[in-house]
Amino acid sequence: MRGSVRQFHYGTLKRPDKGRQQRRYPLDQMNTPYEKLKALPGAKRFLKPELTFKALNLQACAMADNQAAEQLNQERAKLFKRIQYGKAA
């Protein structure tokens, strides 16, 4: 499940015996932030008490990537209109 978030490359540091640290970005570690959270040991402790991964999974699968991007752009436009015209929330 990808959800509606861009995927990120999470780097690992490799320190050769001699020389500088090298950061590698393996393709098998490319995840969304949500997938990375779920993969952490004891990830449930990072959630608010009223949240569950089951509920978050439903929300992540609720819309396609393009729909989520369109919704984000609409909400961003509303926010910038409010800022531009000085209307408080």
Angle at 9 between CA 5 and CA 22, to 5 degrees: 165
Q: Tell me how far apart the alpha carbons of residues 49 and 55 are, in angstroms, rounded to a whole number.
A: 12
Res 88: pLDDT = 57
DSSP 8-state assignment for residue 7: -
pLDDT of residue 69: 85
Compute mean pLDDT per 10 residues along the chain, 89 residues long, and list them: 60 79 81 86 94 90 85 93 76
Q: Looking at the whole model, is its pTM more than 0.85?
A: no
Q: Where are the domains of the chain?
A: 8-63
Q: What is the 3-state secondary structure (H, E, C) of 27-71?
A: HHHEECHHHHHHHCCCHHHHCCCCCCHHHHHHHHCCCCHHHHHHH
Q: What is the pLDDT of residue 60?
A: 82
pLDDT of amino acid 6 = 67
